[in-house]
Amino acid sequence: MSVLETRDVSIRFGGVQANRDVSIAIGQGEIVGVIGPNGAGKTTLFNMITGFYKPDTGRIIYRGRDITRLPVHARAALGLGRTFQNVGLVKGTTVRENLVTAQYLQADYRTISGMFGSRGSVASERRLRQKADALAEVLGLTELLDTQVAGLPYGTLKRVEIATVLATDPDVLLLDEPSSGMGPEEAHQLGDSLLELRNMFKLSIAMIEHHVPLVVRVCDYLYCLDFGQLLTHGRPNEVRNHPQVVAAYLGEDPDPLAVALEAQLNALVETE
| Given 17, 23, 43, 180, the residue binding another protein (CB under 8 A) | 43
Q: Does 92 bind another protein (CB under 8 A)?
A: yes
Contact call for residues 27 and 236 (beta carbons, < 8 A): no
Phi, psi (5° rounding) for residue 144? -95, 5
CB of 204 closer than 8 Å to CB of 28: yes
- Strand pairing category for 65-66 and 31-35: unpaired
Q: What are phi and psi of 172, to 5 degrees?
A: -120, 135
Query: Within 10 Å of residue 142's Cβ, how many Cβ atoms?
Result: 13
Residue range at the interface with another protein (CB under 8 A); choices 27-35, 43-51, 221-229, 258-266 = 43-51
The identity of residue 121, as a single letter, is S
119-138 and 154-167 helices, crossing angle to 10°: 140
| Residue 247 beta carbon to another protein: minimum distance, rounded to whole angstroms | 29
Minimum distance of another protein from residue 216's CB (angstroms): 19
Applying CB under 8 A, which part among 20-28, 61-69, 88-96, 247-255 lies near another protein?
Answer: 88-96
Strand partners, 143: none
Whole-angstrom distance, CA of residue 57 vs CA of residue 41: 15
Closest to another protein by CB, 86 or 241:
86
In the complex with another protein, which residue's Cβ is closer, 4 or 89? 89
Binding mask 49-68 for another protein (x = CB under 8 A): -xxx----------------
- Other C-beta atoms closer than 10 Å to the C-beta of 68 total 18
Q: What does the DSSP assignment read for 103-150?
A: TGGG--S-HHHHHTT-HHHHHHHHHHHHHHHHHHHHTT-GGGTTSBGG
Which residue among 77, 250, 258, 268 contacts another protein (CB under 8 A)? 77
> Please, which residues bridge with residue 199 across strands?
none
Output 6 or 156, the one with its CB closest to another protein.
Answer: 156
Choice from 17, 28, 57, 85 touching another protein (CB under 8 A) = 85
| CB 270 to another protein: min, Å | 21
Give, in degrees to the nearest 5, the angle at Cα 111 between 109 and 116.
Answer: 95
Binding mask 178-217 for another protein (x = CB under 8 A): -------xx--x--xx--x---------------------
Pick from 91, 126, 202, 235: which binds another protein (CB under 8 A)?
91
**Could you say whether residue 8 binds another protein (CB under 8 A)?**
no
Q: Which stretches of the chain bind another protein, using CB under 8 A?
A: 43, 47, 50-52, 71-73, 76-77, 80-82, 84-93, 97, 100-102, 104-105, 107, 109, 111, 114-117, 121, 125, 138-140, 143-144, 146-148, 150-153, 155-156, 159, 165, 168, 185-186, 189, 192-193, 196
